[in-house]
A and B are shown apart, each in its own frame.
Chain A
């Protein structure tokens, strides 16, 4: 099976082509100022370099969130339109799991983190068991302090992602009696090869209903829900 894996969920843009578990080609860019401008030319270039046509891709795998709302929408719209228009498979994988995937530590809880501003983070916790990643704290939008509370049951912790360094001091203070490691170098950034590997193992999803996992309501919607609890169950979008 040929896979095209796309991660545009944060500043890093990463794309990979896989033949089953084998890497065919990949490119990871930390200088992509605008994923809307760079994503499609990079996909076209990567395919060209390995003499493949987009029609040879059997499965599109995309990092589905959390992350930057705009970045997620560019990646997810691109992947779901490819899958739909070429009648191929679509798989979504947690953007946090992608960061956790290359960390090869056992008996250690792996915590990928994205900064969500104002002392909030997008984070989850994963354990490596039988060479599989097992999610032990579900991906969520959470104040950093609360996340650290939830992690106090674990002895060995491995924080992943370029944003984890921003919180290193506070993590070390709050979890001072734990064995703590942080990612470094290329492990700070998502690599679409691992996204592809994880996507290979999952079942395809329904294409039309697939949307990013923002893990946060918009401010307008949460304020509206406070005042109008469940009073609107009719469809919000209609064909005219």
Chain B
């Protein structure tokens, strides 16, 4: 420090909630010094989906390697760090435990505060790398495991206002991907096919008439599967691009409609789009169109390269939690079903 130079605050962050092991070093909550991600997607492709025990085994192979690379790429030492942040839920318990155990050790060994981070807060804070978050805000979080609308009255405050009653949107993509014979994970593939097709099948839009902010995608999934199976039985060949476009349009319509309802009920400055499915072009386009109707609300989309699971976003959310005085002791455990509170 000295010479009036402001001390930079560095967060070392761990993420291991599903099938990516990641360690990052984040400066002042908004600058990525390193973000090392080891993805297991090739391994789980063998099984058509993530196998929890296999995921846990890969995490333990990767965790210190990712830590080593993250510290080296960031060109920092443990003395430079302000705190250690870690995802402690939601996610696969065996996978979470590896990151939690490793983060606890680093925090204890180097006398650093340990900051527990909700994985979903991390997804929201991926958007922080694009620009500042202005409160109050609403976040639409869409991933393989979650679909929810989160209200943030102020910094470090997260309240659920609506969520899926059954499948997450990303889960529905993977399931219909399997029906179409696509490789796991199918989301990107379906998104691309959808752009080559048209919405001709008129699949249902669930819960559009209900006075809440909840979602449902299992009815859509069943309608899709029935359509494909029926065509197979009568030997009819369906246009797969049209199938993909119709499915995607139904998902996007429901997500956009419920988000619109939320924007009408809550007075907010920003709408944040985050989560693995936030990389979906159809959804990004849908929200661009929606936000055009609101002059006072800014749409902040998580950067495409940070929509998937990564530790940079955990570092950004962890920085905010740390600034607000949150910390955990050495008994911190993984909480696979961790949730924000309801409003």
Residues of A within 8 A of B (CB): 34, 36-41, 43-44, 54-55, 69-70, 73-74, 76-78, 80-82, 84-86, 207-209, 211-212, 214, 218-221, 224, 228, 232, 234-240
Contacts and interface: CB of A to CB of B under 8 A. Distances in A.
B74 interface: no
A38 B330 CA distance: 8
Contacts of A38: 331
B101 A74 contact: yes
A240 B102 CA distance: 21
A54 B42 contact: no
Interface stretch (B53-61, B140-148, B203-211): B53-61
A236 B51 contact: no
Contact of B97 (A41, A73, A236): A73
A238 B21 CA distance: 10
A237 B43 contact: yes
A208 B68 contact: yes
Contact of B94 (A73, A207, A219): A73
3 smallest CB-CB distances across A and B, nearest first, come from A236-B43, A40-B330, A81-B105
Interface in B300-335: 329-331, 333-334
A109 to B, nearest CB: 32
B287 interface: no
A82 B37 CA distance: 21
B51 A234 contact: no
A2 to B, nearest CB: 14
23 contacts: A41-B331, A44-B108, A54-B108, A55-B109, A70-B56, A70-B97, A73-B94, A74-B97, A77-B98, A77-B105, A80-B64, A81-B101, A81-B106, A82-B105, A85-B67, A85-B106, A208-B68, A218-B54, A220-B47, A221-B54, A224-B46, A237-B39, A240-B37
A176 B42 CA distance: 51
A79 to B, nearest CB: 9
Contacts of A228: 46
B interface secondary structure, majority: helix
Interface of B: 21, 36-40, 42-43, 46-47, 51, 53-54, 56-58, 60-65, 67-69, 78, 93-94, 97-98, 100-102, 104-106, 108-110, 329-331, 333-334
Nearest to A55: B109
Given A34-B333, A40-B105, A237 B38 contact: yes
B68 A236 contact: no
A221 B330 CA distance: 34
Contacts of B64: 80-81, 84, 207-208
B38 A85 contact: no
Given A40-B104, A77-B102, A81-B101, A220 B54 contact: yes
B330 A41 contact: yes
A interface secondary structure, majority: helix
B241 to A, nearest CB: 28
Nearest to B56: A73
Contact of A236 (B58, B105, B329): B58
Contact of B63 (A36, A39, A81): A81
Nearest to A207: B64
A41 B57 contact: no
Given A44-B330, A85-B109, A224-B46, A218 B40 contact: no
A84 B67 contact: yes
A6 B93 CA distance: 21
Contacts of B61: 209, 211, 237
Contact of A40 (B54, B108, B110): B108
Contacts of A209: 61
B65 A208 contact: yes
Contacts of B106: 81, 85
B101 A37 contact: no
Contacts of A77: 60, 63, 97-98, 101-102, 105
B21 to A, nearest CB: 8
Contact of B333 (A36, A214, A236): A36
A207 B67 CA distance: 12
A12 to B, nearest CB: 18
A37 B69 CA distance: 28
A43 B74 CA distance: 30
Given A73-B60, A78-B105, A240 B39 contact: yes
A237 B42 contact: yes
Nearest to B37: A240
Nearest to B35: A240
A37 B21 CA distance: 21
A139 B68 CA distance: 32
B42 A235 contact: yes
Given A236-B43, A237-B40, A69 B67 contact: no
B109 A82 contact: yes
B67 A220 contact: no
Contacts of B40: 236-237
Contacts of B331: 37-38, 40-41
A218 B97 contact: no
A208 B69 CA distance: 12
